[in-house]
Amino acid sequence: MYWACQERVTKGRLIPVNVGRNAYSGMGTWSNWTEGAQMLQQRHIFPPMPDIGKSESHYANLARLADADGNIYAQHAAKVGQYITLALDHHLDWPAKLRYFEHAIKRHCVPPTVPDETVWIFYRDLADLVRQYAGHEALRLASIEDDLYATRLDLGAERNAVESDAENFFAQLLDAGDKRPDWVCEEDWLQLKMIRDVWI
């Protein structure tokens, strides 16, 4: 289901709701404004947030259709869905997963320069979706390690050896000290630090 900025048609021209002609007096001729408004309408058709877990061909098809329609927003949403899904592959190690998450945020969740509010919100929501999945995946891996370290101690392993392994693991997982990385939300970041601080 698509949603767009509300507009109405008056004498064949697109006019944003509650905005009169006088608001555009500095934009050149009326015909130039009409062309700009049509472009604005086309650019401001936003897709829903992507479903995660579909096949790669599903996202490729969505991106191809969006490109054919000239809908850059739908294209970015499809790519975000694709990269999140790729990152959730359990066969990948964390650095490979992180590359997908970071690529999604840096390449497909960045609004254009000086976006209006609806554009900014769309890209913010896309980035939040990436952070949600990235944070959950990082917490899943951290929880597995946490259980492993506790089991090792129960079986008589030296605390120093466990702490050394934990330090290596969390350095790779977080790689940011006490500064929250851009790929994770604040809530998940705090939970990850709590798990880390038990062992380091």
* Domains of the chain by residue range: 1-43, 48-200
User: Nearest-CA neighbor of 140 among 173, 104, 116, 172?
Assistant: 173
pLDDT value of position 167 = 95
- According to DSSP, the β-strands at 7-10 and 13-16 are antiparallel
pLDDT value of position 178 = 82
Quick one: what percent of the chain has pLDDT higher than 90?
Answer: 72
Q: How confident is the model at residue 19 (pLDDT cuts 50, 70, 90)?
A: very low
Q: What tokens appear for 125 in the block? A: 């929501």
Contacts of 119 (CB under 8 A, 6+ apart): 44, 111, 112
Give the separation between CA 141 and CA 169, rounded to whole angstroms. Answer: 10
Q: How confident is the model at residue 24 (pLDDT cuts 50, 70, 90)?
A: very low
Contact between 85 and 133 under an 8 Å Cβ cutoff? The reply is no
